[in-house]
Amino acid sequence: MTNDTTTTPDSTPAEAIPGQAAEPGRTARQVTLPEDRYATELAFLAAHDTGPRPPGWLLTPRAVVTFVMGSAGDALSLPKGARPAAGVPRRLVIEQKFVGERALVERCVVTLAGERGLLLVGEPGTAKSMLSELLSAAVCGTSALTVQGTAGTTEDQLKYGWNYALLLAQGPTEQALVPSPVLTAMTRGAVARVEEVTRCLPEVQDALVSLLSERRIAVPELAGGDGAQVHAAPGFTLIATANLRDKGVSEMSAALKRRFNFETVGPIGDVDAEMALVRRQSRAAVERVGAAYQVDDAVLEALVTAFRDLRDGRSAEGWEVERPSTVMSTAEAVSVAGALGLAAAYFPGDRDVLSLLPGHLLGVVRKDDPADAARLLGYWDGPVRKRAEQGSATWRALWDLRSVLEN
């Protein structure tokens, strides 16, 4: 999992680099949708795997899993006689985009193939949103049919609204109706996404119950007042995400829970995989601004180790660690590593990059509870001090920076 641990490639789109022109007809943007960023991979996989596909799917379920998890560094080849789209190579290495269990991704794909709702749950920063984007892009070619759940989300945003100028001029017509992303997905047979569904009010969540069970939306204002029914086309389904930290905001009803298959996205288990992800994403963030990446592996190793220790409540050596209230997610680690890289790029030579790490860790730890600063200080007096005493130069330098946390 990246998501939320997020994984992005080393390469940076040309339009994101200052001073480098965007492709003709394209506007420079900070974030590129996965269906655009990985368009070549999607087109290649569509030609590579010609097996059976669920109704409305662009790729086979196996190819969807390969798109998300990558081809393990192996170059895949198109079968003889395959005619790929223009610009698509006949051999291609598929990049791994999500760091997590392949079995988890396979279960998600099977759920979507059965046209059942998929709910991704987990702590913040475990790449739930990124995984939902990747799955949507691979299944139906778009991840943009999205509703962001908040306390202000209305039922109209899940069903439909009206263009009031046309409504006043023409009355309730199909031209005046403004479909929600969910309604658009239903008519196309595509995947809709609802982010942070538990942040929506219960009465708004209830709109999803009938939608997922009956697979249609009634529009009573149309057809001369007799009403109209918009039925879901084959392939339609819905992916929702829910943050375990927000569980009590608007608890889902039992009826709505039954409409979803639940999958829990957890933190990255392997330290080397997490380190590689943090390095890759922070490097990409710095190179996006056209600067050189100057954070060495010793600093990144200390950063990832500290995050993992504080997240797990136990160091790699088995020493007890008091966990802070905030979630020490991989996404936060990427953010800190990126900040260190940008500081080195914009303020070269001002100070050692490692000396900036305690201050950034303090900022992360204090997000939920300022009192957690004491827990970070306890971590310094425990594992950091012990590692320094064992002769590690990096941890000795960090131990000498303890005063930063006291101030």
Show the 3-state SS of 184-227.
Answer: HHHHHCCEEEEECHHHCCHHHHHHHHHHHHHCEEEECCCHHHCC
Nearest alpha carbon to residue 186 among 240, 142, 143, 236: 236
pLDDT, one tens digit per residue, over 39-86 is 999 999 999 998 999 999 999 999 999 999 999 999 999 998 888 888
Question: How many C-beta atoms lie closer than 10 Å to residue 259's C-beta?
Answer: 19
Residue 224's pLDDT is 58
Residue 27's pLDDT is 67
What are the phi and psi torsion angles at 58 (to 5°)? -80, -30
How far apart are alpha carbons 88 and 41 in whole angstroms? Answer: 8
Mean pLDDT of 228-246: 91
Share of residues in the chain with pLDDT > 70 (%): 91
Mean pLDDT of 244-264: 86
CA geometry: angle at 240 spanning 131 and 271, to 5°?
35
Does residue 247 carry a pLDDT above 80?
no
Confidence class of residue 350 from pLDDT cuts 50, 70 and 90?
Answer: confident
How far apart are alpha carbons 370 and 407 in whole angstroms? Answer: 13
Mean pLDDT of 329-335: 95
How far apart are alpha carbons 340 and 185 in whole angstroms? Answer: 41
What are the phi and psi torsion angles at 65 (to 5°)? -65, -40
Backbone CA torsion sign across 372, 377, 380, 381: negative
How far apart are alpha carbons 54 and 329 in whole angstroms? Answer: 35
Round the average pLDDT of the chain to a whole number and report it. Answer: 89
Question: How many C-beta atoms lie closer than 10 Å to residue 381's C-beta?
Answer: 13
Nearest alpha carbon to residue 111 among 234, 261, 211: 261
How many residues are given for the chain? Answer: 407
Beta strands 191-195 and 146-148, pairing class: parallel
Residue 26's pLDDT is 58
Mean pLDDT of 360-379: 93
Backbone CA torsion sign across 385, 389, 393, 397: positive
Residue 114's pLDDT is 95
- Which residues lie below 8 Å from residue 164, measured CB to CB, with a gap of 6+? none
How far apart are alpha carbons 255 and 240 in whole angstroms? Answer: 15
Does residue 1 carry a pLDDT above 60?
no
Please answer whether residues 211 and 256 qualify as being in contact, where contact means their C-beta atoms are separated by less than 8 angstroms.
no
pLDDT, one tens digit per residue, over 8-33 is 333 333 333 333 444 555 566 788 89
Residue 225's pLDDT is 53
- pTM for the structure as a whole: 0.87
What type of residue sits at position 8? T
Mean pLDDT of 336-344: 95
Residue 88's pLDDT is 93
Share of residues in the chain with pLDDT > 90 (%): 76
**Six token digits for residue 361:** 């860790």
Please answer whether residues 200 and 153 qualify as being in contact, where contact means their C-beta atoms are separated by less than 8 angstroms.
yes
Q: Supply the Cα-derived Rg of the chain in whole angstroms.
A: 24
Does residue 130 carry a pLDDT above 80?
yes
Does residue 158 carry a pLDDT above 90?
yes
Nearest alpha carbon to residue 260 among 129, 118, 122, 120: 118
How far apart are alpha carbons 388 and 236 in whole angstroms? Answer: 56
pLDDT, one tens digit per residue, over 264-285 is 999 999 999 999 999 999 999 9
